Structure 1
Amino acid sequence: MRALLATAALLPTGAGALADPPKLAVFDFELVDTSLPGEFYGSKPEEARLMRISEQLRRELAESGRFQVLDIAPVREAARGANLQACGGCDLKLAGQLGADLEITGLVQKVSNLIINLNIYLRDVKTGNMITVASADMRGNTDESWSRTMSYLIRNRLLAPNYGKRE
């Protein structure tokens, strides 16, 4: 599967660039908020940001032409009810129900309004093997910082021609 991702990264971009791109399920990002404000007031602004970066990831990967991004609506509620990072493979089962070849889960760790980490995990649905992990720290808790961090990871990790290739 690593070869599939590496091959997809090397192909031309744009609609129709790949005859049968791999089917990809991109689940909504989850939040681990251990910040003091999060403990006292909840994580309301972050919840909206989680949805925006999830949609941004789906849109940009679909527009790349390298993946066929699947609609997760049939399993969205089940996914929201589970901790996809620690559910013992329920994410793979849900992605399999959609007919996905690959799946992405994501996690945002908020330590404070100044220290936030965005993590993307790409796995092969059939084998359960981790294909790649992309992670970036951001400073500042704004819509712009979240969006720019996601753009960076998409451009420089997930869609970068040489990312994940072994020398």
Structure 2
Amino acid sequence: MLTVLLLFSASLIGSAGAEAAQLRFAFLGVRLQNDNERLEPTTRAERDRMTAIGGQFTSALETSGGYVIVPLTDEVRAKIASGQPVGTCGGCEADYGKALKADRVGWITVQKVSNLILNMNVYIADPETDKYLFIKSVDIRGNTDESWSRSLKYLLDNYFFEQKS
């Protein structure tokens, strides 16, 4: 019985340590850079894909056990909506991360050159130092739900989580 109690206590201590090791992660969103907006306006399907890969990204981070996703406050959402695009705002990402008390901030940009050629970029930075910790890009062939989802999965599995091992 004593052995069972000791093992149970050790597992509780281990879980508490694992939770303490989780980084607070603020996901600032997905932006589509449509290079041909005037000729091919952004579609509802593309807006839906942006939402879907944002959810896929945060879910993958949470599932990894290394991160807890920090929800954006209404104030930060309003600043993001009214300011320059995240990733081009000269350090606003670090400011948002500090306001949210996050250890890391991240965002995704998808560049649409055409319906055949797209590029997905994932950025992760340390708000405290305002330094990028991860920048990776993957090319996408085809503008479909599956191509976007598989591209993000490939990027995470082969670059982001691989570097963490």
Normalising by structure 2, we get a TM-score of 0.82
Aligned residue runs from structure 1 range 1-167, under 5 A: 18-20=18-20, 21-35=22-36, 38-44=37-43, 45-74=45-74, 75-82=76-83, 83-161=85-163
Q: 1:18 to 1:113 in 2, by over 3 A?
A: same
Aligned equivalents of 1:144, 1:16: Cα separation in 2 = 37
Aligned equivalents of 2:47, 2:142: Cα separation in 1 = 16
Report the secondary structure of 2:38's partner residue: helix
Counterpart of 1:6?
none
Q: Higher helix proportion, which one?
A: 2
Q: Which amino acid aligns with 1:72?
A: L
- Please say which structure displays the higher CA radius of gyration: 2
Task: Say what the alpha-carbon RMSD is for the aligned residues.
Answer: 1.9
Aligned equivalents of 1:17, 1:50: Cα separation in 2 = 34
Q: 1:40 to 1:101 in 2, by over 3 A?
A: same
Report the secondary structure of 2:124's partner residue: strand
Q: 1:98 to 1:64 in 2, by over 3 A?
A: same
Any stretches of 5+ residues in structure 1 without a counterpart?
1-14
Identity score, percent: 31
Any stretches of 5+ residues in structure 2 without a counterpart?
1-14
Larger RCO: 1 or 2 (CA < 8 Å, sep 6+): 1
